[in-house]
């Protein structure tokens, strides 16, 4: 018997959670689904080259996709349960849950297509049509498949990173900002940067950090672990605080996003904005809070080695 694919596990996972009145660990869900699968121990113990168990990995991805669609919620780390939206579905009338089925849910389409809540609906529809056409024609090269899969993995990682950041305290977020700015190259030493953040309480400024190791110029920082969109009034308040300090450079970092008006206001004043998406991108780029699970090389022929004129 072949191992079920991750999409073939989505409906069984939903049905399992529908039997529960409270959240359960995803590891426990994997064990129960394994018991119900009818697979042999040998099949269930198959692993990827990385060492990860294939069946458990696929259950994990099934959970991830259902979470993105809003059908499963995660009340706390490593636990999952059916969401209010998930409980609305008549699971007995559904024969399978596939990616196409999940595309009807905005959260999943935004995740799967790489769009965000600020994208226009027409652009999303165009993207869906483009991807459907690509699937039907099956014209993707191996390189394109690798690239698209990598983008999907990064998108999932960024979502998980942001969720973890939001679950921690504001002081944790301030320390994270320090670590990130130091990794990027600001602030000189970590000790100097840490002393500069979260100490001012000066009219909308959360900290000051050196732009270079010599401390020749200063960057003023606003670091907000927020859920709501940052609006123009918040930027205006920050601009006022910068003016009071006769400051030329400011960075506003948030776990949420910025309104169109806030972005326009910041551009006029030279304030750099870092939203949740940019924050997690920088964390991945500079290896903050993430680690390489596995790397591989793509090889090509070295034509010079086979050019006889070179010998």
Confidence category of residue 264, pLDDT binned at 50, 70, 90: very high
User: Any idea what the CATH number is for the domain that residue 183 is in?
Assistant: 3.40.1350.10
Domain assignment present for residue 160? The answer is yes
Q: So what's the pLDDT on residue 121? A: 42
Domain assignment present for residue 290? The answer is no
Q: So what's the pLDDT on residue 208? A: 80
Answer yes or no: are the C-beta atoms of 261 and 232 closer than 8 Å.
Answer: yes
- 156 and 12 part of one domain: yes
| Alpha carbon of residue 64 to chain centroid | 11
Domain assignment present for residue 39? The answer is yes
Domain end position, chosen among 107, 136, 166: 166
- 118 and 179 part of one domain: no
Lowest-pLDDT range of 23-32, 101-110, 298-307: 298-307
Domain assignment present for residue 294? The answer is no
Exposed, middle or buried, 284 (CB in 10 Å: 0-12/13-18/19+)? Answer: middle
Domain end position, chosen among 166, 190, 221: 166
User: Any idea what the CATH number is for the domain that residue 162 is in?
Assistant: 1.10.10
Q: Could you read off the pLDDT of 36-92 as tens digits, one per residue? A: 999 999 999 998 777 789 999 899 989 999 999 999 999 988 899 999 999 999 999
**19, pLDDT greater than 80:** yes
- 93 and 141 part of one domain: yes
- 143 and 179 part of one domain: no
- 194 and 123 part of one domain: no
Q: So what's the pLDDT on residue 311? A: 58
- 136 and 176 part of one domain: no
- 255 and 279 part of one domain: yes
Domain assignment present for residue 280? The answer is yes
Distance, in Å, from the CA atom of 226 to the CA atom of 283, rounded to the nearest integer, reads 18
Q: So what's the pLDDT on residue 220? A: 86
- 122 and 207 part of one domain: no
Domain assignment present for residue 306? The answer is no
Percent of the chain residues topping a pLDDT of 90: 45
Domain assignment present for residue 245? The answer is yes
pTM: 0.67
Domain end position, chosen among 142, 166, 190: 166
**197, pLDDT greater than 60:** no
- 96 and 58 part of one domain: yes
- 86 and 109 part of one domain: yes
- 31 and 51 part of one domain: yes
Domain assignment present for residue 176? The answer is yes
How many domains does one find in the chain?
2
Range of the domain at 229: 170-285
- 149 and 179 part of one domain: no
Answer yes or no: are the C-beta atoms of 82 and 71 closer than 8 Å.
Answer: yes
Exposed, middle or buried, 262 (CB in 10 Å: 0-12/13-18/19+)? Answer: buried
């Amino acid at each position: 018997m072949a191992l079920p694919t991750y999409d073939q596990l989505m409906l069984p996972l939903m049905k399992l959670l529908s039997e529960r009145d409270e959240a359960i660990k995803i590891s426990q869900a994997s064990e129960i689904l394994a018991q119900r699968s009818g697979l042999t121990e040998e099949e269930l113990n198959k692993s990827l080259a990385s060492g990860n168990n294939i069946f458990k990995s696929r259950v994990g991805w099934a959970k991830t996709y259902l979470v993105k669609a809003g059908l499963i919620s995660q009340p706390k780390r490593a636990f999952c349960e059916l969401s209010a939206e998930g409980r609305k579905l008549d699971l007995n009338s559904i024969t399978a849950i596939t990616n196409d089925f999940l595309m009807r849910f905005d959260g999943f389409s935004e995740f799967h297509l790489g769009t965000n809540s600020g994208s226009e609906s027409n652009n999303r529809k165009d993207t869906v049509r483009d991807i459907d056409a690509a699937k039907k024609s099956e014209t993707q090269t191996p390189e394109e498949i690798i690239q698209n899969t990598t983008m999907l993995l990064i998108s999932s990682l960024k979502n998980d990173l942001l969720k973890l950041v939001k679950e921690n305290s504001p002081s944790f977020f301030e320390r994270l900002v320090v670590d990130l700015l130091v990794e990027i190259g600001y602030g000189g030493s970590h000790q100097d940067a840490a002393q500069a953040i979260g100490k001012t309480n000066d009219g909308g400024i959360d900290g000051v950090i050196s732009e270079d190791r010599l401390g020749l110029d200063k960057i003023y920082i606003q670091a907000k672990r927020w859920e709501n969109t940052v609006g123009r009034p918040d930027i205006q308040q920050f601009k006022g605080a910068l003016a009071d300090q006769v400051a030329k450079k400011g960075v506003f970092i948030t776990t949420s996003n910025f309104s169109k008006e806030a972005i326009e206001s910041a551009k006029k004043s030279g304030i750099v904005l870092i939203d949740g998406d940019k924050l997690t991108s920088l964390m991945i780029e500079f290896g903050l809070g993430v680690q390489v699970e596995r790397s591989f090389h793509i090889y090509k022929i070295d034509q010079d080695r086979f050019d006889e004129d070179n010998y």
